[in-house]
Structure 1
Amino acid sequence: MAIEPSLLDTCTSHLKTCLKSIHKVIQNANEILCGISQPSVCSEVLMSSRGTDYISGVIEVYRVSKRMEGGIKTFSIDCERLQLVLRDIELAWNNLQAFLSICPSVLQKLPSPSVFDYEAKKMSSDLGLCLQRCCGVCLLERLDQQVSSEPIGNMLQFGGRPYHLSCANFWLHCVDSSLPVLSCHSNCSVCVKLKEETK
């Protein structure tokens, strides 16, 4: 199901803003590692507890971008600007992995590409796609534990909307101090049903 044209611009703008921030974080990680001239020093930094925590955080940021990519595909958002930013993120991520190759023990801790494949994870709703039921940042519903390494309860409710913890965390720290709230399309059967139930 595609998002209504009236909502598409707002949705695309919010996605682009978040994806650009993700690209900046991954690009900064590349610049930090590139600035370390000696491989032995870089390896020492990566093996330290602070270095490991930092790389874990960057991995989680990349995971948010892959969720967003899955949400974009789920809602059939066809936007060249978003595809360009996603491509830039992928290039920066591949470059970062090349830096991490100097430290095999850190490289081995990276999740396999299949862990980031949110496109294959189907929306759980039998009623169709509803923005009100999706994470306000990445546009994916609660993930199914059978097809995800993430726990099922990994969502929080804020202002009547669900958010993945890492999506909300990234948005609040790197994009804006207020979580995004996207309205659903006017003929959404889930929203109509919820309105009838609350009358």
Structure 2
Amino acid sequence: MKSEPAHLIRCLQQIHEVIRRANEIFADISQPSVCREVLLSEAGTTYILALSEVYQISRRLKDGLKARNLVNKQLQHRLHEVDLVWNNLLSFLVFGCSSSQMLVHSGNSHPVIFQGCCYHAGCANFWLNCVDCTLPRET
């Protein structure tokens, strides 16, 4: 993804929002048995895997910043916020729903070449659907 902090911050804000909404959805389920049923359903499992893929985008961004030795307080703050909301979701799924089948997927995303730039398929998909209708370009 583009290394301009404003673009990365927007992406991280959207990642945070998607995971935050998931927290709200699961928090609204008052019965652990219903939560387990939802999580163990095909749709629930697919949803958790998709959320995990979204979280992995933040990990890729963090790794990219580290590899380029880019330090930005706003980006670090946004990454921390994403980690907090993700960890809240994980602990809710594990403890609040008593699910021993928590799924965390590392994402084997194949690269996509578009207009001479290489993107992780999951990253490009998330960007186009949640951040902006135009893929960022590396500068």
When normalised by structure 1's length, the TM-score is 0.64
**Larger C-alpha radius of gyration, 1 or 2?**
1
Higher helix share: 2
Confirm or deny that 1:164 pairs with 2:120.
yes
Equivalent position of 1:196 in the other structure: none
3-state SS of paired residue (1:72): helix
Deviation at 1:158, TM superposition (A): 0.5
**CA distance in 2: counterparts of 1:30 and 1:69, whole angstroms:** 22
Q: Which runs of 5+ in 1 are unaligned?
A: 1-6, 116-148, 184-199
CA drift at 1:168: 0.2
The residue matched to 1:163 in structure 2 has which SS?
Answer: strand
**Is residue 32 from structure 1 mapped to residue 22 from structure 2 by the alignment?**
no
Percent identity over the alignment is 44
Contact 2:117/2:138 (CA < 8 Å) preserved in 1?
A: no
Q: Structure 1 residue 150 and structure 2 residue 104: aligned?
A: no
What is the CA distance between 1:110 and its match in structure 2?
2.0
Residue of structure 2 equivalent to 1:86: 79
- Per-residue CA deviations over 1:57-112 (Å, capped at 9, x if unaligned) read 0000001110000011111111110111111111111111112112112x1x324x
Q: Which residue of 2 aligns with 1:176?
A: 132
Gaps spanning 5+ residues in structure 2: where? none
Q: In the comparison of the two structures, how many residue pairs are matched? A: 135
The offset of 1:150, in angstroms, is 3.0
- 2:73 is equivalent to residue 74 of structure 1: no
Tell me how far apart the structure 2 counterparts of residues 110 and 16 of structure 1 sit (CA, whole Å): 24
In the alignment, residue 158 of structure 1 is paired with which amino acid? F
Match runs of 1:86-165 below 5 Å: 86-101=79-94, 102-105=98-101, 107=102, 109-111=103-105, 150=108, 154-165=110-121
| Larger RCO (CA under 8 A, 6+ residues apart) | 2
Q: Which residue of 2 aligns with 1:47?
A: 40
Q: C-alpha distance in 1, partners of 2:49/2:104?
A: 9
Give the Cα separation in 2 of the matches to 1:83 and 1:25: 19
The two structures have a TM-score, normalised by structure 2, of 0.91
